[in-house]
Amino acid sequence: MPLTLLLGACNLTNASTATPVWQDEFSGNSLDTSRWGYQIGNGFMAGSDYVAGWGNNELEYYTDRASNVSVQDGNLVITARKEKITGPAGSTTGTFDWTSGRVRTAGKFSRTYGKFEIRAKFPRGKGFWPAIWMLPEEPSPYASWAANGEIDIAEGWGSKPTELAQTIHYGGVWPNNVYSGTTVNFPNGGTMDQWHTYAVEWTPGKIQWFIDGTLTSEKTQWWSAKNNPPTSDADLNAWPAPFDRPFYLLLNLAVGGNFDGNPDATTPDQGQMLVDYVRVYGMQNETGSAGPHPDMTYPWTPKPARPALSDGNLVYNGSFDWSDTDPRVTPDTTSLSGAANSKFWTLYTSDGQVTLSNDAGALKADVTNAGSVNYAVQVRQDGLNIESGGKYEVSFDAWAQSARPMMLKVGGGQDRGYAAYSGEQPVQIGTTKERKTVTFDMKATTDAAARLEFNLGNAGTGPVWFDNVVVRRVGTAAGARPPAADGNLLYNAAFTQDATATVPGIPGVPGSAYWTTWSNVPERLTTGISGSVITLNVKDVDPANNWHVQLNQAEVPLTAGKSYTLTFKGRASDAREVAVVIGENGGSYARYLDGKAALGATEQTFTYTFTAPVTNIGAQFQILGAVGAAGSSYGLSFRDFRLVQNP
């Protein structure tokens, strides 16, 4: 999601008063295992659950082999290689297409406060994700991630070599965590594949980031919650938690996943992260007071609510016809560059590009570069007062030069972890003007600064028009839906119930009530139901992420701390391993169950047990099936889905 840009400031380092306390100059012939330990694999255990892809859908399998981690010519060399490897993945064995290295000082060195300085050189290439970061030494008094904190000293996007991320993670226990990050440009026109010195100076109540001695960002506000989910100031740990306990260092080179996306045809088959040294210093002012807790907003902090218009519309200037002299326009009101009469609207782009203009009273968004994610081109309005317990309707006129999808979302900003109150709703736009309507129940805490997003990225180029945008409250949200008569939390598990006006299903597919399918390219997926079996026919698959083909059911109620068992029968036209997920519908898409199903030509029964980490009456069940070589075609068939709460 979008981060704030901050360019080089003055050098405020306290190096003159720093005292060396720990270092590694990598002067030997191999990794010093008295200082560093290896992490091996493609994931980790969280209680009894295995979290694949390190929680980020990463592709690499970390090893302790010299081909991935070595010391050469005075440098630590971490090498990511495109090669097949088979290894443990929780209770099963997996095959992975990349290897790499990840080392850390956990259990060997950790420190509260100080200056942490690392001289390093990162690789270019789409999907490479080099990282220098810190996590709390265990045991921590602050529960688990991210209530116990994370400090990211430097994270590089392999596809954006002029930019670097500097971030802290904090807040509640996942999935109620938040983060605060800054994207900076390298000083003096530098790039990530040059040598740079990265540093943080961490003192009570303040964390500062430096590149080559230049101060590039600073954080003085954060929080840590002792209850999950946190709902009030009474749930807070004492300031400056969680950044007042010992943290250890990690160095790794990830491949693929949520940060820079997966490698593409331009990515080299090998990338190297070089580290010249790691040096840690004590600082003269690290024993001082953190001072009083800074004033800041929390997810539960009431915000001034912008009133609805006289007709109940929460969207201001929804018809793109308000003049700049309208009395509701203030000096800080946003607008869209290139489009007149666009006050109260905002544009965000990551790696996408769009030209905005007015056309016959509507907003015209001509997408010239679709980017790699749906929010790569995002037209939005902030400041909507979405109240807990309300039912809301979003409606608007839309049309496009060529038929295409978009993603609509009503959700929170950075202090809400970009939560999706509406879920991420796919909307198909045709070539003639048509009224689109989406409804949702607001089940989160009231947000007076919610956002309406039209996400046009990663879905083709060309003009799209919007007009007459309305978001209004239309009733009271429903509570958690009860289990079916047989105790199943999944409705219409036998695929015998047709969709209705109030119970949607898969368009044009009888027997699909309560179920949905999705593909990033709609014509690549067709769905059929016969004899209580649902079949997804995938054509010309895009396997960049397995979620590019989905079978979903939303509104699944789960209770924190309760155990659940999921069973179903499945097969495939040929051997395919698909993902089986139950988790958050929007926001961080946190996964409470993150499993795999190895489908073959013979039908098998699959069983999964998990414990819900949070109460979520609107969770989502998913089969994610974009698997195999690019362009391949296959069929996936399922029946007898059953999800029950265990005694």
* Active site members: 150, 155
3-state secondary structure 9-62: CCCCCCHHHEEEEEEECCCCCCCCCCCCEECCECEEEECCEEEEHHHCCCCEEE
CA 182 to chain centroid, in Å, comes to: 16
Question: What are the tokens at 448?
Answer: 């007076």
Q: Please answer whether residues 336 and 356 qualify as being in contact, where contact means their C-beta atoms are separated by less than 8 angstroms.
A: yes
d(C-alpha 441, C-alpha 473), whole Å: 10
d(C-alpha 42, C-alpha 252), whole Å: 13
Sequence-ordered list of residues with C-beta below 8 angstroms from that of 485, at least 6 positions apart, any chain: none
d(C-alpha 547, C-alpha 622), whole Å: 9
In three-state secondary structure terms, 284 is helix
Residue 117: beta bridge partners?
Answer: 199, 279
Q: Please answer whether residues 191 and 125 qualify as being in contact, where contact means their C-beta atoms are separated by less than 8 angstroms.
A: no
* Residue position matching structure tokens 């997408």: 367
The length of the chain is: 647
Q: Dihedral of the CA atoms 204, 200, 136, 194 (nearest 10)?
A: 170
Nearest C-alpha neighbor of 270 from the set 453, 89, 128 = 128
User: 567: how many CB neighbours lie within 10 A of its CB?
Assistant: 14
